[in-house]
Structure 1
Amino acid sequence: LYETGIEVAGPVRNLRLESSAKQEATITIRWDLPAEDGAQVEQFQIIAEATRSYASYRIHPLRWSLPNTTSTFELSNLTPGTDYNVTVVSLSPKGEGGRASILGATEIGIPDPEPEEPIILRRLGSTILIKIPRATNNNGPVSYYRVVVHYVNGELIQQIDESQLNTFQKSKENRVPYYIAAELEMKDDDSLHFTVGDGREYRSYFNPPITVRAHVHISIGLVSVRNHVVKVRYATTTHEQHQYPDHQHVNLKTVEIERNETLITILTVACILFGIVLTAAIILYIYLRYKTPSANPRPFADHHELTLQGPILEVENNGFMPDIYEQRGFEAELRDIIEGLEQSKHHARKYLSLNINHILGSGKYGDVLAGSLQQGQDQDIPAHVHVVTDDMESVDQIAFLNEFRRLTALEEHANVILFLGVCVTPDWCYLLFEQMQTTLKQTLLNARVPSNVNSAKFSTISEEIVVNILCLVCDGMQFLADNNLMSKKLCARTVYVNTKFEVKVSAFGPPLYAEGTEKCIDIARWHAPEVIKFQNHSVKGDVWSFGLLIWECCCLGATPYGSTTTDNLFAAIRAGQKPERPGFMFEDLYQLCLNCWDLDASDRPSFIELRNYLRQTLPMLRYLLSFERKQSIQLPPYLPHLEMVE
């Protein structure tokens, strides 16, 4: 045996994937350090090379350099739905050493680009013939094409809330104006023709007839499935889909008239002849009436009133109510949900203490009381107790059951208020939630340093804490979105913190009263325009509210739209009014708010994108936000009379 005279570092040992950390654009690897019989490792180089991808563009290899003490690393900015060969190279002063490689894959992402709007070829009675163009997807396979029918009310198009999108029967029960009509596969053709409303079933989705003359939009959802992960993206619909040359948006009678010009001519001639004959008959009648004397004239007093005899029918127009609630009732449905809870969520009344004189808030589902739950002999947990009211309207009962059912299916999350369980008595039903120390609103207002106090900053909390709070709110909101839940009321008053700056968002119930008052919060000031106008709640509506929360946090609890009353809010937003950028909030962070306030809900960012951006900018806070006191800097005011309902 002869030595080569070259001593380099050996390869890392036991290179492996962290399967629990698998995400859309990341792969996490872990390894053991090389054996000590080689040269000292100076640093590691990570190389990621794509071996298989759905992307239509070329994916270049990515490289990272890491310190020699590193034993785990998250490869970020990878392409979703792509297989990678990941290599770890040991580098020493002698040069490149041993290599270790492993195959990994990223999870598929939301399909990109957005699928095209379908082409409406013909509308005939209760059916619509559409042409679905072939779609491409850079983030995963194209598995199915989902056909969505949307009954549009008015000229302003409401965005489809994907969490409410379901089968025709479920959408009918939930009174949602859109549903999935079919899931289709496209073979090797460039397009697919499909008849919406043919009454058949496609992959468990019923395709019911379309209401004649209803204003309907058809959207296409691109479904991508790989390794039991499903991602969907829907095409944005516009009124332009009715304007294709071949589109006949008419009823059956009009179609027949346009197709048969001969019949039109015959009917026209017949009408003219009938009119001539009728005119001649009227003239003849008048002539004979005046020329022929009456043989038995009737006395003027012998007149009889003409009346209708027979049965009179009354038509009753009842509002729509899903069959399941009509048959079983609200109490039975609520009982089923409660009985489905695990035993640890059921609490006896003797362990629940209520302060009935301390009402914390009130909403359409009932009041919120202060209370505590006894767990163990000496442990009392402070709780917010939601008392379910027994006089809800039918529409509110359905909404309550839907929200409560999703709530009970939630797992625990560090940034969502914990559901402690229920307490049921013969007369009342109580829903119990953990109680945090205070609201984010109060924390922000308390952090303001008065102008007459000599301080280098006008805030007692740092810029880093504020941005970190926003990151944690994003985590909680993304968790709710992943579980088909929406906040519908996101603002600083519905985010709760403690002295350790642990942050939790509320997933259920009304905003609490303003501290020290019994006045309800006017949450409309944080709502998106489609919510103010149509009550059309969606995750993208929560994103609009989050943009206002960013502004509210940076301005230490100031009131958004401080110069506008709630009655004029919608008109002001449609006219382009937005909260102004204060001097201490820099352009990049304010642009993030503007992205959240896009009037087109589909163009607003997701909570994942918002969280990633905020976390990436934490090391560069000086370019986002500064609480340093300067003469030209003035905090926007907190105006409680605009935030509360009188």
Structure 2
Amino acid sequence: MNTRIGSIAVVIVLVHNFVIINGAEFVGCFHKNAYLRRLDLFSGSPNVCIDGCKNVYYRYAVLDGNSCLCTSTLNEKEVNLDECNRPCAEDADEFCGGGYVQSVYDTEIRVPGPPQNANIINRKESSILIEWSEPEQKATLSRYIIRANVVKNYGTMLPAPPPEWTIETIDHTVQYELVNLHPGSRYNISIISFSNDFGEGGSKWIVGETDIGVPEPPPPSANILNHNGKTMTVEIPSLVNNNGPITAIHVVVIFVDSELFQQFDENLLKDHKHASEDGLNYYITASLDNESTTRKFVIGNGLNYGGYDNVPLPTDRHIHVALGVLSKLGNTTKTLYTREAMHEKTAPIAIDIGNDGGRDGVEFMLLIGCGFLGILLIFSVVGYTYLRLKMGSRLQRLPSDHHELTVQGPMMEVENNDAYQPDGFSKKSFDQNISDILDQVEPSKNHPRNNVKLDVNKLIATGQYGDIIGGKLNATPCHVHVVSDDMDTLCQNQFLRELSGLLKLSFHKNLVDFYGFCQSANWLYLLFEETHTSLKTVLVGSRTTPDSKDLSSLSELFILQTLCELSAAMEFISNQEVIHGKLSTHNIFMTSANIPKISFFGMCFDSNGKKIDTSRFSAPEVLRFQHLCIQSDIWSFGCLIWECCSLGGTLFPSISSNELMSRIKEGARPERIPYIHNDMHQLLLNCWQIEPSERPTFSEITSILWQFLSSPQHILSFKRRGGYTLPYYLPLLEEQNA
């Protein structure tokens, strides 16, 4: 009898161990844990609990009688299966725990749950700032993915959706600014939890809208059909605004007389009565609704349109008619008028040539002008002849009057520290050194010549190592560095040092990717990820007009996020014991998803392909001894932070390159930016210590910047107040040999 019972028990254990319910496998019996995530539901069967835990993204469903609990880890001790002996209330064939044990099922869920508490924090014309907190179930969370799809806008067609954003941070609360969005558009924003091992998890979506922008495209000129004394008939086309609603169309009358007329200023626009009182030569004569078809409108018919009196036109003045689009949504109003009305700050001269008097006046003025120019020419010839005869003898230099040529530029003391002669490079020929370095490249990056297509007509820049041109690696666009065969010894050593450092670096999302190389019989090509817009261009382009409430169209959060990513990338580079040596906003490029990428190899050039003078970003030891080290990159990174906070300002705008070294030794530093917090300014001063060993490490800078990110507007504020002006951007001063 006992043997029979034992056999039955064994059979029960085996069957119990392989039960699969609703796609979930029975795991086993475990000691009771009352501190797991408890679901507010009656669990009379395993199915109910399994579905409940799946819905909240937990890996395990735990049954304790009629209670359902969820967990992602099993920390309790497993016990014998026969201790799970309590039949489920609604399924007596299954067991829902026991006296001091719980039944556990695997839900097959491995991905993290959805983010929580997603909200819109702020919005601008082309960006939306969002915030969310971490998922309830985050055991496998690696990063977040954000997608924004347009669900409504005011244009004739929906703009293409922006690319997805990837956010590496998994802090408890995250803020992120979605940029490059379309003005006046509603977006369905999805925030998705992601696991590197298991893929996309739960998602949370919110709806956000960007502010309306300046109307686009600009309205055309009104087509004048007839001018009959005090009235004028014009043709008004149907207008389109891709950046917001069309609230009204303004018809503007501009008087153009035979004199310099006033510059058109839309902020001064008024109705006819108030414009006359203010002495303005332009006024709004009508405010009309937009219609779907072209229509005719009579200016000067004496009626009132939208609160504007359409008064009769004077018969003795010359008239131009402009159209304006008024776009209003909520508390935001944007306008744009016919470009001809606003074209230049220096207004043209309007001269009436429609009658004989006007024509006679023009001829008289031309006659006087020609006579005056003729007199000037005669005096110039006479003066030149006199000076040539008078000074001719002085142009002959005496035989002994010779001077040695001297270098008119900054003197540098060069320390013999082999900064440009890496160990072993000087012992072999340049070609042999290159061959040795390229032998270290993995075979997959050695590309056959027929896989590389060169676009020789797309010259991006010309540098000391050769030309940079466009090209394609198979179907992938890339930049091709065509290595020059006539570099001098100094350039050759610099090239070898940079190439050797480049190959030490593995892939990093914030570095311009090195695709590999290609060799032909006569040429060596280095292939890099295609880049477009530099961080410098983005910063300078974000500067707003003086009437804007903000100094920049970029947010403080965007700047700090960018600096955090760049600091982490430089920490990665320095950990490989590689020196950048030319760090600035000119050689950092922004992707379409606003991911900053540091260009490590080659020269530093601006958006026009002109070489940049890197001395303004260089540490004192580099200026004096050409001694490059990781600490000199720290100095340059401080300059990069300053550039970002100043929205692309030029470092040391009042100091020439010749004076930089001496002025820095005397204590000169880039000017204090008035709208940054003391903590940020102190970080800059720490980076600019004269003694390299006293500068912080990239690890320390990254940690500090991440702390700043928790409260960006207390560290940096782009609000226009207190008469703040941005530091000057002087592109010619930044160019080499400018």
Q: TM-score, normalised by structure 1?
A: 0.50
Residue 401 of structure 1 aligns to which amino acid in structure 2? L
2:499 is matched with 404
The alpha-carbon distance between structure 1 residues 547 and 492, as it changes in their structure 2 partners (threshold 3 A), is same
Residues 279-322 of structure 1 deviation map (CA, whole Å, 9 limit, x = unaligned): xxxxxxxxxxxxxxxxxxxxxxxxxxxxxxxxxxxxxxxxxxx5
Give the distance between the partners of 2:441 and 2:448, measured in 1 at CA.
14
Q: Do the aligned partners of 1:345 and 1:421 also contact (CA within 8 Å) in 2? A: yes
> Which residue type is aligned with residue 338 of structure 1?
L
- Asked whether the equivalents of residues 487 and 506 of structure 1 are also in contact (C-alpha less than 8 Å), the reply is no
Paired residue for 1:185?
none
Q: Report the residue type matching 2:592 in the other structure.
A: T
Find 1:557's aligned residue among 619, 623, 648: 648
Work out whether residues 42 and 67 of structure 1, in 8 Å CA contact, stay in contact via their aligned partners in 2.
no
* Rounded Cα–Cα distance in structure 2 between residues aligned with 1:336 and 1:460: 48
Q: Secondary structure at the match of 1:373?
A: strand
Instruction: Give, as a single letter, the amino acid of the residue that structure 2 aligns with 1:505.
Output: I
The corresponding residue for 1:373 is: 472
Q: What residue identity is the alignment partner of 1:469?
A: T
CA distance in 1, matches of 2:477, 2:59: 46
The residue number in structure 2 matching 1:468 is: 561
Match of 2:477 in 1: 382
Q: Which secondary structure does the structure 1 equivalent of 2:682 belong to?
A: helix
Residue 494 of structure 1 and its aligned partner are, at CA, apart by: 0.7
Question: Which letter maps to 1:359?
Answer: L
CA contact (8 A) 1:566 1:642 kept: no
Alignment partner of 1:332 out of 429, 432, 435: 432
- Secondary structure, aligned partner of 1:426: coil
Match 1:427 to one of 506, 522, 528: 522
In 1, Cα distance between equivalents of 2:693 and 2:727: 30
| SS of equivalent to 2:684 | helix
Query: Which amino acid is 1:343 matched to?
Result: P
> In structure 2, what is the equivalent of residue 484 of structure 1?
577
Counterparts of 1:358 and 1:595, CA distance in 2:
42
Shift of 1:506: 1.1
8 A contact 1:588–1:624 mirrored in 2: yes
- The Cα offsets for residues 528-553 of structure 1, whole Å up to 9 and x where unpaired, read as 01001111111111110111111110
Identity of aligned residues (%): 34
Q: What is the CA-CA distance between 1:159 and the residue it aligns to?
A: 13
Answer yes or no: is the 8 Å Cα contact 1:417–1:506 preserved in 2: yes
Q: Give runs of aligned pairs for residues 290-309 of structure 1, distance below 5 A.
A: none
Worse-matched range after superposition: 552-561 or 396-405: 396-405
- How big is the shift at 1:643? 0.3
Tell me how far apart the structure 1 counterparts of residues 68 and 707 of structure 2 sit (CA, whole Å): 33
Measure the CA separation in 2 of the matches of 1:595 and 1:32.
Answer: 48
Give, in angstroms, the shift of residue 456 of structure 1.
Answer: 2.3
Contact 1:559–1:636 (CA<8 Å) still a contact in 2? yes
Compare CA radii of gyration and give the structure with the larger one: 2
Q: Which runs of 5+ in 2 are unaligned?
A: 1-31, 38-57, 72-132, 142-412
CA contact (8 A) 2:61 2:68 kept: no
Q: Which amino acid is 2:715 matched to?
A: L
User: What's the offset of the Cα at 1:330?
Assistant: 1.7
Aligned mates of 2:583, 2:134 — CA distance in 1: 42
Matches within 5 A, 1:410-559: 410-451=505-546, 454-512=547-605, 514-516=606-608, 518-559=609-650
Alpha carbons 2:480, 2:528 under 8 Å: kept: yes
Change (3 A) 1:614 1:37: farther
User: Deviation digits for residues 18-53 of structure 1, max 9, x if unmatched?
Assistant: xxxxxxxxxxxxx9889564999999xxxxxxxxxx
Confirm or deny that 1:359 pairs with 2:459.
yes
Counterpart Cα distance in 2 of 1:641 and 1:448: 18
Partners in 1 of 2:629 and 2:692 — Cα distance? Answer: 9
Match of 1:586 in 2: 677
RMSD of aligned residue pairs (Cα, Å) = 3.6
Whole-angstrom distance in 2 between the partners of 1:325 and 1:439: 35
Separation (CA, whole Å) in 2 of partners of 1:469 and 1:443 = 12
Where does structure 1 lack aligned partners over 5 or more consecutive residues?
1-6, 13-30, 44-65, 75-155, 165-170, 176-321
Cα distance in 2 between the residues matched to 1:550 and 1:67 = 29
Q: Tell me, yes or no, if the aligned pair for 2:481 and 2:527 is still in contact at 8 Å.
A: yes
Counterpart amino acid of 2:607?
Answer: E
Q: Aligned partners of 2:715, 2:625: CA distance in 1, in Å? A: 35
Helix, strand or coil for the counterpart of 1:500?
A: coil
**Deviation of the 1:504 alpha carbon:** 0.6
CA distance in 1, matches of 2:560, 2:135: 32
Larger relative contact order (Cα-Cα within 8 Å, sequence gap ≥ 6):
1
Aligned equivalents of 1:568, 1:325: Cα separation in 2: 33
Q: 1:409 to 1:631 in 2, by over 3 A?
A: closer
Q: Is the 8 A contact 1:9 1:34 kept in 2?
A: no
Give the aligned residue type for 1:509: G
Deviation, 1:623, is 1.4
Change (3 A) 1:73 1:521: same
1:389-447 per-residue CA deviation (whole Å, 9 max, x = no partner) reads: 22223343334223312322321110111001111111111111111231000001110
Name the CA shift for 1:428/1:67 in 2 (closer, same or farther; >3 Å).
closer
Q: Report the Cα distance in structure 2 between the residues aligned to 1:543 and 1:615, rounded to whole angstroms.
A: 17
Is 1:610 the counterpart of 2:701? The answer is yes
Asked whether the 8 Å contact 1:42–1:68 carries over to 2, the reply is no
1:494-550 CA-partner distances (Å, limit 9, x unpaired): 1110232111101111112x223x531101100001001111111111110111111
Task: State the match for 1:219 in structure 2.
Answer: none
Cα pair 1:361 1:511 within 8 Å, conserved? no
Say whether the 8 Å CA contact 2:588–2:599 is kept in structure 1. Answer: yes
Q: In the alignment, which residue of structure 1 is the partner of 2:41?
A: none
How far apart, CA to CA, are the structure 2 residues paired with 1:617 and 1:598?
Answer: 21
Q: Which residue of 2 aligns with 1:575?
A: 666
TM-score with structure 2 length normalisation?
Answer: 0.44
Query: Which secondary structure does the structure 2 equivalent of 1:407 belong to?
Result: helix
Give secondary structure in 2 for the equivalent of 1:541.
helix
Question: Does the 8 Å CA contact 1:546/1:596 hold for their aligned counterparts?
Answer: yes
Pairwise CA distance, 1:477: 1.0
- State how 1:80-159 maps to structure 2 within 5 Å: none
Report SS of the residue matched to 2:706.
helix
Matched, 1:628 2:719: yes
